[in-house]
Protein backbone atom coordinates (compact mmCIF):
# COMPACT_ATOMS: atom_id res chain seq x y z
CA UNK A 1 0.00 0.00 0.00
CA UNK A 2 2.80 2.40 1.01
CA UNK A 3 4.69 1.46 -2.17
CA UNK A 4 1.53 2.02 -4.21
CA UNK A 5 0.98 5.50 -2.72
CA UNK A 6 4.65 6.25 -3.28
CA UNK A 7 4.27 5.18 -6.92
CA UNK A 8 1.28 7.47 -7.33
CA UNK A 9 3.18 10.47 -5.92
CA UNK A 10 6.22 9.83 -8.05
CA UNK A 11 4.23 9.29 -11.25
CA UNK A 12 1.62 12.02 -10.76
CA UNK A 13 3.56 14.73 -8.92
CA UNK A 14 7.33 14.24 -8.89
CA UNK A 15 7.67 13.06 -12.49
CA UNK A 16 5.76 15.97 -14.09
CA UNK A 17 7.70 18.39 -11.84
CA UNK A 18 11.04 16.87 -12.90
CA UNK A 19 9.90 16.95 -16.54
CA UNK A 20 9.32 20.70 -16.34
CA UNK A 21 12.46 21.41 -14.27
CA UNK A 22 14.58 19.49 -16.77
CA UNK A 23 13.60 22.04 -19.43
CA UNK A 24 15.09 24.83 -17.35
CA UNK A 25 18.63 24.58 -18.88
CA UNK A 26 17.08 24.94 -22.34
CA UNK A 27 14.86 27.82 -21.26
CA UNK A 28 17.91 29.51 -19.70
CA UNK A 29 19.81 29.25 -22.99
CA UNK A 30 16.88 30.50 -25.10
CA UNK A 31 16.33 33.43 -22.74
CA UNK A 32 20.05 34.25 -22.77
CA UNK A 33 20.23 34.03 -26.56
CA UNK A 34 17.18 36.26 -27.03
CA UNK A 35 18.49 38.78 -24.51
CA UNK A 36 21.99 38.68 -26.05
CA UNK A 37 23.20 37.65 -22.64
CA UNK A 38 25.45 34.69 -23.45
CA UNK A 39 28.76 36.52 -23.41
CA UNK A 40 31.29 37.27 -26.15
CA UNK A 41 31.06 33.78 -27.67
CA UNK A 42 27.47 32.56 -27.40
CA UNK A 43 28.07 29.40 -29.47
CA UNK A 44 30.86 28.32 -27.16
CA UNK A 45 28.62 29.00 -24.18
CA UNK A 46 25.77 26.96 -25.70
CA UNK A 47 28.14 24.07 -26.54
CA UNK A 48 29.48 23.97 -23.01
CA UNK A 49 26.11 24.32 -21.33
CA UNK A 50 24.39 21.63 -23.45
CA UNK A 51 27.36 19.24 -22.95
CA UNK A 52 27.37 19.83 -19.21
CA UNK A 53 23.60 19.35 -18.99
CA UNK A 54 23.71 16.15 -21.08
CA UNK A 55 26.30 14.61 -18.78
CA UNK A 56 24.41 15.76 -15.69
CA UNK A 57 21.24 13.97 -16.81
CA UNK A 58 23.07 10.78 -17.80
CA UNK A 59 24.66 10.68 -14.34
CA UNK A 60 21.35 11.50 -12.65
CA UNK A 61 19.74 8.57 -14.48
CA UNK A 62 22.52 6.35 -13.13
CA UNK A 63 21.93 7.62 -9.58
CA UNK A 64 18.31 6.45 -9.58
CA UNK A 65 18.92 2.77 -8.78
CA UNK A 66 21.31 3.35 -5.84
CA UNK A 67 19.06 6.10 -4.50
CA UNK A 68 15.95 3.95 -4.60
CA UNK A 69 17.79 1.24 -2.69
CA UNK A 70 19.39 3.56 -0.11
CA UNK A 71 16.29 5.67 0.42
CA UNK A 72 13.93 2.71 0.27
CA UNK A 73 11.91 4.44 -2.47
CA UNK A 74 11.41 1.90 -5.26
CA UNK A 75 9.01 4.26 -7.05
CA UNK A 76 11.96 6.48 -8.00
CA UNK A 77 12.50 4.04 -10.85
CA UNK A 78 9.71 5.88 -12.71
CA UNK A 79 12.10 8.81 -13.16
CA UNK A 80 15.00 6.94 -14.68
CA UNK A 81 13.89 6.68 -18.29
CA UNK A 82 12.92 10.35 -18.41
CA UNK A 83 16.27 11.47 -16.97
CA UNK A 84 18.14 9.29 -19.45
CA UNK A 85 16.10 10.64 -22.36
CA UNK A 86 16.81 14.19 -21.25
CA UNK A 87 20.52 13.25 -21.25
CA UNK A 88 20.15 12.11 -24.84
CA UNK A 89 18.11 15.18 -25.78
CA UNK A 90 20.77 17.61 -24.48
CA UNK A 91 23.55 15.51 -26.07
CA UNK A 92 21.70 15.78 -29.39
CA UNK A 93 21.44 19.57 -28.99
CA UNK A 94 25.14 19.68 -28.03
CA UNK A 95 26.10 17.73 -31.15
CA UNK A 96 23.75 19.82 -33.32
CA UNK A 97 25.24 23.10 -32.11
CA UNK A 98 28.78 21.77 -32.60
CA UNK A 99 27.86 20.62 -36.14
CA UNK A 100 26.33 23.98 -37.13
CA UNK A 101 29.31 25.81 -35.61
CA UNK A 102 31.86 23.66 -37.47
CA UNK A 103 30.12 23.77 -40.83
CA UNK A 104 27.38 26.35 -41.44
CA UNK A 105 29.08 29.10 -39.46
CA UNK A 106 32.34 28.25 -41.22
CA UNK A 107 30.53 28.81 -44.52
CA UNK A 108 30.71 25.24 -45.87
CA UNK A 109 27.04 24.17 -45.70
CA UNK A 110 26.22 21.17 -43.51
CA UNK A 111 29.25 19.16 -44.67
CA UNK A 112 29.08 15.78 -42.87
CA UNK A 113 32.57 15.11 -44.28
CA UNK A 114 34.09 17.97 -42.31
CA UNK A 115 32.43 16.73 -39.13
CA UNK A 116 33.62 13.16 -39.77
CA UNK A 117 37.17 14.43 -40.31
CA UNK A 118 37.07 16.41 -37.07
CA UNK A 119 35.68 13.39 -35.18
CA UNK A 120 38.60 11.31 -36.48
CA UNK A 121 41.26 13.96 -35.97
CA UNK A 122 40.61 15.29 -32.47
CA UNK A 123 40.68 12.55 -29.82
CA UNK A 124 38.43 14.35 -27.32
CA UNK A 125 35.83 14.79 -30.07
CA UNK A 126 36.22 11.08 -30.96
CA UNK A 127 35.49 10.20 -27.33
CA UNK A 128 32.45 12.54 -27.14
CA UNK A 129 31.11 11.18 -30.42
CA UNK A 130 31.54 7.58 -29.24
CA UNK A 131 29.66 8.40 -26.04
CA UNK A 132 26.91 9.96 -28.14
CA UNK A 133 26.69 6.89 -30.40
CA UNK A 134 26.26 4.73 -27.31
CA UNK A 135 23.35 6.84 -26.13
CA UNK A 136 21.49 6.38 -29.44
CA UNK A 137 20.46 2.70 -29.02
CA UNK A 138 19.58 3.38 -25.39
CA UNK A 139 17.19 6.16 -26.36
CA UNK A 140 15.84 4.10 -29.27
CA UNK A 141 15.02 1.14 -27.03
CA UNK A 142 13.73 3.07 -24.03
CA UNK A 143 10.03 2.39 -24.71
CA UNK A 144 8.29 -0.39 -22.76
CA UNK A 145 7.45 -2.26 -25.93
CA UNK A 146 11.18 -2.48 -26.75
CA UNK A 147 11.79 -4.26 -23.45
CA UNK A 148 9.22 -6.83 -24.57
CA UNK A 149 10.60 -7.05 -28.08
CA UNK A 150 14.22 -7.52 -27.01
CA UNK A 151 13.49 -9.59 -23.91
CA UNK A 152 14.36 -8.28 -20.44
CA UNK A 153 17.74 -9.98 -20.29
CA UNK A 154 19.00 -8.60 -23.61
CA UNK A 155 17.49 -5.20 -22.90
CA UNK A 156 19.31 -5.00 -19.57
CA UNK A 157 22.57 -6.11 -21.16
CA UNK A 158 22.21 -3.40 -23.82
CA UNK A 159 21.38 -0.75 -21.25
CA UNK A 160 24.60 -1.41 -19.37
CA UNK A 161 26.08 0.66 -22.21
CA UNK A 162 24.97 3.69 -20.24
CA UNK A 163 27.99 3.24 -17.94
CA UNK A 164 30.33 3.35 -20.94
CA UNK A 165 28.51 6.38 -22.35
CA UNK A 166 28.84 8.14 -19.00
CA UNK A 167 32.54 7.21 -18.79
CA UNK A 168 33.05 8.58 -22.33
CA UNK A 169 31.21 11.77 -21.37
CA UNK A 170 33.33 12.22 -18.24
CA UNK A 171 36.57 11.56 -20.13
CA UNK A 172 35.53 14.02 -22.85
CA UNK A 173 34.74 16.58 -20.13
CA UNK A 174 38.00 16.05 -18.23
CA UNK A 175 39.89 16.31 -21.50
CA UNK A 176 38.43 19.53 -22.80
CA UNK A 177 35.86 20.96 -20.42
CA UNK A 178 36.24 24.60 -19.57
CA UNK A 179 33.27 25.50 -17.45
CA UNK A 180 34.62 24.41 -14.05
CA UNK A 181 37.39 21.87 -13.74
CA UNK A 182 36.15 20.98 -10.25
CA UNK A 183 32.89 19.80 -11.77
CA UNK A 184 34.70 17.50 -14.19
CA UNK A 185 36.59 15.89 -11.29
CA UNK A 186 33.43 15.69 -9.15
CA UNK A 187 31.55 13.98 -12.00
CA UNK A 188 34.48 11.58 -12.47
CA UNK A 189 34.38 10.68 -8.77
CA UNK A 190 30.62 10.27 -8.84
CA UNK A 191 30.93 7.86 -11.75
CA UNK A 192 33.63 5.86 -9.93
CA UNK A 193 31.28 5.68 -6.91
CA UNK A 194 28.39 4.52 -9.08
CA UNK A 195 30.51 1.87 -10.80
CA UNK A 196 31.83 0.60 -7.46
CA UNK A 197 28.31 0.40 -6.10
CA UNK A 198 27.24 -1.48 -9.22
CA UNK A 199 30.03 -4.03 -8.72
CA UNK A 200 29.26 -4.51 -5.02
CA UNK A 201 25.52 -4.77 -5.73
CA UNK A 202 26.23 -7.38 -8.44
CA UNK A 203 28.26 -9.46 -5.97
CA UNK A 204 25.55 -9.21 -3.31
CA UNK A 205 22.94 -10.28 -5.83
CA UNK A 206 25.00 -13.30 -6.84
CA UNK A 207 25.38 -14.28 -3.20
CA UNK A 208 21.65 -13.76 -2.63
CA UNK A 209 20.95 -16.14 -5.51
CA UNK A 210 23.34 -18.67 -4.03
CA UNK A 211 21.56 -18.48 -0.65
CA UNK A 212 17.92 -18.44 -1.78
CA UNK A 213 16.33 -19.06 1.60
CA UNK A 214 17.92 -16.18 3.50
CA UNK A 215 18.84 -13.60 0.89
CA UNK A 216 21.71 -11.20 1.50
CA UNK A 217 21.15 -7.80 3.13
CA UNK A 218 17.49 -7.85 2.23
CA UNK A 219 18.10 -8.67 -1.43
CA UNK A 220 15.51 -11.40 -1.87
CA UNK A 221 16.24 -13.50 -4.96
CA UNK A 222 12.57 -13.74 -5.94
CA UNK A 223 12.87 -10.08 -6.94
CA UNK A 224 15.55 -10.60 -9.57
CA UNK A 225 17.01 -7.18 -10.04
CA UNK A 226 16.35 -4.50 -7.44
CA UNK A 227 19.95 -3.44 -7.78
CA UNK A 228 20.34 -3.62 -11.51
CA UNK A 229 20.70 -0.85 -14.03
CA UNK A 230 17.82 -1.98 -16.13
CA UNK A 231 15.38 -3.33 -13.58
C1 LIG B 1 28.32 13.98 -30.40
C2 LIG B 1 29.57 14.15 -30.22
C3 LIG B 1 30.15 15.28 -29.41
C4 LIG B 1 30.85 16.34 -29.87
C5 LIG B 1 31.21 16.61 -31.31
C6 LIG B 1 31.18 17.17 -28.74
C7 LIG B 1 31.87 18.36 -28.81
C8 LIG B 1 32.21 19.16 -27.76
C9 LIG B 1 32.92 20.40 -27.83
C10 LIG B 1 33.42 21.05 -29.12
C11 LIG B 1 33.03 20.89 -26.58
C12 LIG B 1 33.71 22.20 -26.16
C13 LIG B 1 35.15 21.92 -25.86
C14 LIG B 1 35.96 23.15 -25.56
O15 LIG B 1 36.49 23.74 -26.48
O16 LIG B 1 36.04 23.51 -24.41
C17 LIG B 1 32.42 19.93 -25.71
C18 LIG B 1 32.36 20.06 -24.34
C19 LIG B 1 31.68 19.19 -23.52
N20 LIG B 1 30.96 18.08 -23.89
FE21 LIG B 1 30.82 17.34 -25.73
N22 LIG B 1 30.67 16.60 -27.61
C23 LIG B 1 30.01 15.45 -27.97
C24 LIG B 1 29.34 14.57 -27.14
C25 LIG B 1 29.18 14.74 -25.81
C26 LIG B 1 28.41 13.88 -24.94
C27 LIG B 1 27.68 12.61 -25.41
C28 LIG B 1 28.49 14.39 -23.69
C29 LIG B 1 27.88 13.92 -22.41
C30 LIG B 1 27.25 12.78 -22.23
C31 LIG B 1 29.32 15.58 -23.77
C32 LIG B 1 29.64 16.38 -22.69
C33 LIG B 1 30.44 17.49 -22.76
C34 LIG B 1 30.84 18.27 -21.61
C35 LIG B 1 30.45 17.95 -20.17
C36 LIG B 1 31.62 19.32 -22.09
C37 LIG B 1 32.30 20.39 -21.27
C38 LIG B 1 31.37 21.48 -20.92
C39 LIG B 1 32.10 22.52 -20.13
O40 LIG B 1 33.14 23.00 -20.55
O41 LIG B 1 31.61 22.85 -19.07
N42 LIG B 1 29.69 15.78 -25.06
N43 LIG B 1 31.91 18.90 -26.44
The answer for residues whose C-beta is within 8 angstroms of residue 196's C-beta and 6 or more apart is none
Please state the domain extents for the chain: 2-210
pTM of the model: 0.90
Percentage above 70 pLDDT, the chain: 88
Position 179 confidence tier, pLDDT thresholds 50, 70, 90 = low
Ligand 1 atom at minimum distance from 132 CA: 27
The answer to whether the Cα torsion of 166, 172, 176, 181 is positive or negative is positive
Residue nearest atom 13 in ligand 1 by C-alpha distance? 176
Q: Is the CB of 91 under 6 A from ligand 1?
A: yes
| Ligand 1 pocket member 187 (CB < 6 A) | no
Looking at residue 181, its pLDDT comes to 77
Q: What is the pLDDT of residue 5?
A: 85
pLDDT, residue 109, reads: 92
User: With a 6 A CB cut-off, is 49 part of the ligand 1 pocket?
Assistant: no
Report the alpha-carbon distance of residue 32 to residue 69 in Å, rounded: 39
pLDDT band of 6, cuts 50, 70, 90: confident
- Give the closest residue (by CA) to ligand 1 atom 27: 132
Indicate whether 169 pLDDT > 90: yes
Q: Are residues 229 and 205 in contact, defined by beta-carbon separation less than 8 angstroms?
A: no
Calculate mean pLDDT across residues 14-26. 98
pLDDT in tens, 194-221: 999 999 998 998 899 887 655 545 444 4
Q: In angstroms, rounded to a whole number, what is the distance separating the alpha carbons of residues 102 and 100?
A: 6
Distance 205 CA to ligand 1 centre (A): 35
pLDDT of 230 > 50? The answer is no
Count of all residues that appear for the chain in the document: 231
| 230 in contact with ligand 1, CB cutoff 6 A | no
| CA pseudo-torsion sign 179, 185, 190, 191 | positive
Query: Would you say the CB of residue 59 lies under 6 angstroms from ligand 1?
Result: no
**SS3 at position 199:** helix
Answer for the pair 94, 47: CB distance below 8 angstroms, yes or no.
yes
* pLDDT tens string 36-73: 999 999 999 999 999 999 999 999 999 999 999 999 99
Average pLDDT over all residues of the chain: 90
- H runs (alpha helix) in 72-111: 77-102
Distance CA(62)–CA(228), nearest Å, equals: 10
Give the model confidence (pLDDT) of 84-121 as tens digits: 999 999 999 999 999 999 999 999 899 999 999 999 99
**Phi, psi values for residue 201, rounded to 5°:** -60, -40
Residue nearest to atom 10 of ligand 1 (CA): 98
Nearest CA residue ID for atom 22, ligand 1: 128
**Distance from Cα 173 to the centre of ligand 1, integer Å:** 6
**Model pLDDT for residues 112-162, shown as the tens digit of each residue:** 999 999 999 999 999 999 999 999 999 999 999 999 999 999 999 999 999
Q: Whose CA is nearest to atom 20 of ligand 1?
A: 51
Mean pLDDT of 7-24: 96
Amino acid sequence: MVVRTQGWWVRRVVKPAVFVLALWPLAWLVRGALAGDLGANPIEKITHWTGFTALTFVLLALCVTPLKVFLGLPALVHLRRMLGLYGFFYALLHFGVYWVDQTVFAGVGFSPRLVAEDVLERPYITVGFTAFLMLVPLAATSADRMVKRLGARRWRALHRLVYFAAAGGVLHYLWKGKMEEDWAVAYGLLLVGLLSWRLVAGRLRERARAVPARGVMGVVPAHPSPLEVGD
